[in-house]
Chains A and B, each alone.
Chain A
Amino acid sequence: MKNRVKVFRAMHDLTQEQLADTLGVTRQTILAIEKGKYDPSLELAFRMARHFKVSIEEIFLWEEQAEGT
């Protein structure tokens, strides 16, 4: 699964630390998600989408979808 967390974070001018604090996770988790090493739970993905005021699909791209685009 690919994601655009880094892009949205940059658009909202947030550091990993700030985003992590807002979402109640460690900074390392945000980093791991951005690097594609860890896929967040559905709950965290929803929290992230709500925080950026977008839908989940705009942040997280399923691999087949990501390859197709």
Chain B
Amino acid sequence: MKRNTFYLILGLVILLEVGVFWWAVEIHNALLSPVAFILGVVAIYVARSRVGEIIEDERTGLITQKAALRTFQVFWVVFFAVNLGMAIIGLGPPGFPRPPMRPPRSDEGLPFNLLGRYAVVQLVLLGLMILLYVGFRIYYARKYGDWDSDEEQS
């Protein structure tokens, strides 16, 4: 398999994941999206292992390693700080910034409770972690000459 074919498959899997998430929300199925996500990761892993060209070597390994370490360092501090704040909000008495909870009316669905909000914040943080990783990866890839061009490049 060629490298570009792999990137096409990657894009398709991401689109499918978004579609499955949307569908899972519509039909209120909590299991569908996590299962689809794990299957998607496995599919990407299998597709990646079938790429014939060399796409990883010691230099790309170094870039991945450095970007991952920096991401971990920054993310840990941010994640800890956010969760510390949320713990204080969650465990403290109702008031600003957590309004007192009221029981849901009969015509309302389940309330968007604290646990749900907590899950959404965690998902947003994990999304930001990916952006952080991509940022660091771009930085180190540039540092170690990933986008340099020369006379051989057409």
Residues in chain A within 8 A of chain B (CB atoms): 15-17, 20-21, 24-29, 31-32, 34-35, 37-38, 40-41, 44
Q: Decide if B58 touches A29 in the complex (CB within 8 Å).
A: yes
Q: Give every chain B residue within 8 A of A26 (Cβ-Cβ).
A: 54-57, 59-60
Chain B interface helix/strand/loop/mixed: loop
A-B interface, 4 closest residue pairs, ranked by CB to CB distance from nearest: A32-B145, A37-B145, A25-B57, A29-B59
Complex-state Cα separation, A17 to B154, whole angstroms: 13
Per-residue 0/1 for B33-59: is the Cβ within 8 Å of any A Cβ (1 yes, 0 no)? Answer: 000000000000000000000111111
B70 within 8 A of A: no
The answer, yes or no, to whether B76 is at the interface (CB within 8 Å) is: no
Could you jot down 9 A-B contacts, CB within 8 Å?
A: A24-B57, A27-B152, A28-B146, A28-B148, A29-B60, A32-B59, A35-B150, A38-B62, A40-B58
Tell me if A21 and B54 are in contact (CB < 8 A): yes
Chain B 55-75 near chain A by CB (<8 Å), digits 1 or 0? 111111010000000000000
A32 touches B54 (CB 8 A): no
Instruction: Give every chain A residue within 8 A of B148 (Cβ-Cβ).
Output: 28, 31-32, 35, 37
> Is B144 an interface position by the 8 A CB rule?
yes
> Which chain B residue has the least Cβ–Cβ distance from A23?
B57
Of the residues A21, A24, A35, contact of B145 by C-beta under 8 Å:
A35
Q: How far is the CB of A1 from chain B (nearest CB, A)?
A: 14
What 0/1 pattern do residues 6 to 48 of B give for CB contact below 8 A with A? 0000000000000000000000000000000000000000000
Chain A neighbourhood of B56, CB < 8 A: 26
* Nearest-neighbor residue (CB-CB) of B56 within chain A: A26
Find out whether the CB atom of B152 lies under 8 angstroms from the CB atom of A41.
Answer: no
Q: Quick check: B145 and A31 within 8 Å, CB to CB?
A: yes
B143 interfacial by beta-carbon distance below 8 Å: yes
B152 with A17: CB separation less than 8 A: yes
CA distance A21 to B62 in the complex (A): 19
Contact across chains for A41 and B146 when beta carbons are under 8 A apart: no
A24, B54: Cβ atoms under 8 Å? yes
Across the interface, which residues of B come within 8 angstroms of A38, CB to CB?
A: 59, 62, 144-145
Most buried by A among B55, B59, B60: B59
